[in-house]
Amino acid sequence: MSLGNENLNLLVEFKKLGSEARLKEAAELILRRQDEDRSRIWILASPFLSPARQELLRESGVPFFDFAGNAWIVSDAVHIDRRGFPNPFSERRRARSPFSDKASLVLRALIASGPGRGVRAIAEQVGLSPGYVSKVVQELEERRYVARCEEGLALQNTRELLQDWVSAYRKHWIERRAYFVPVAHARAIIDAMREASLGEEYALTLQAGASLVAPYADFDVVDVYVKNTEAAVMLASQLEAREVERGANLRLSVPYYRVSAFFDRREAAGLPVVSDVQLYLDLYDYPLRGREQAEHILERRLMPKLEAAERE
């Protein structure tokens, strides 16, 4: 490409980037090639790059463009910076997301039980067909989040995996009911729940749930997942709670993850609490110090499990 007295040698690497891990892998490849040959400008191209991915590439010094018109190509002879164009392919969605309710059971099983098991063992653990689990595993392999080793399956690129997961997890509940329990503070509700007859239909989440496994931030509302509205009515009755529009100190929600939100739940301080993975997902975008609490859980509890589940 001739530009005045300058000749630019542009080499474009086209990638369909389905995950955060594949994006970073492609960026590292571009940077290595730039280091090997400074006479050429290596450019990463993709059908669409989100604003967050564009910023990651700019911070890494990786030139890019996409088919929406976004571009950032900077050298001694050229400066192109075009951003803000929306995704023209947004209506096209993947047929199978590994972060949907049932599909996420595969990831949850790998995190909970560690590496070294095959498709059939995971399918038996989570109650899904081997064929379905196999297709989810194939998608995770394509995204660079699962690798096969001699002993079986193992996770990889777990921090990028979590980033893609929280991005996909937009809706926390299908139905939510707000209640007021006549007590002095929210922790008294937790004490009262220990006296209630809680079965398999409940699990604490958000700040109240986190306070029982990795305390970090104060809270004035107790959030509980219930499997159905009947369970919500029953629990509210046991706590002598009344439904309110404002001033709630108890929220009972049927979760968006109807099945997987209750996977690997555990008992903490005498009460059922969702898994560390679910706590992290729920807290990540929660406005009241949720991100801080999520990062606290990640470093103290979740990251050791993720590292143990990764391929060595």
Neighbouring C-alpha atoms within 13 Å toward the C-beta of 165: 25
The tokens describing 194, both together, are 């220990």
CATH 3.30.460 in the chain, residue ranges: 173-307
CATH number for the region 104-168 comes to 1.10.10.10
Strand arrangement, sheet containing 266-268: 242-243, 173-180, 250-255, 222-226, 202-205, 271-273, 266-268
The tokens describing 290, both together, are 């949720």
How many other β-carbons are positioned within 10 Å of the β-carbon of residue 46? Answer: 22
Cβ(298)–Cβ(111) under 8 Å?
A: no
Q: How far apart are CA 310 and CA 305, in angstroms?
A: 9
H or E segment at 213?
helix 206-213
CATH 1.10.10.10 in the chain, residue ranges: 104-168
Per DSSP, the three-state class of 73 is strand
Local confidence pLDDT in tens for the 312 residues of the chain: 777 777 778 899 998 887 888 888 899 999 998 888 877 889 999 999 989 899 989 999 999 999 999 999 988 778 899 999 989 876 555 557 999 999 999 999 999 988 888 999 999 999 999 999 999 999 999 999 999 888 889 999 999 999 999 999 977 888 999 999 999 999 999 999 988 877 788 999 999 999 999 999 999 999 999 999 999 999 999 999 999 999 999 999 999 999 999 999 999 999 999 999 999 999 999 988 999 999 999 999 999 989 888 865
- The topology (CATH level 3) of 173-307 is Beta Polymerase; domain 2 (3.30.460)
Beta-strand runs (E) in the chain: 2-3, 6-7, 10-14, 41-46, 64-66, 71-74, 79-82, 146-148, 153-155, 173-180, 202-205, 222-226, 242-243, 250-255, 266-268, 271-273
H or E segment at 304?
helix 303-309
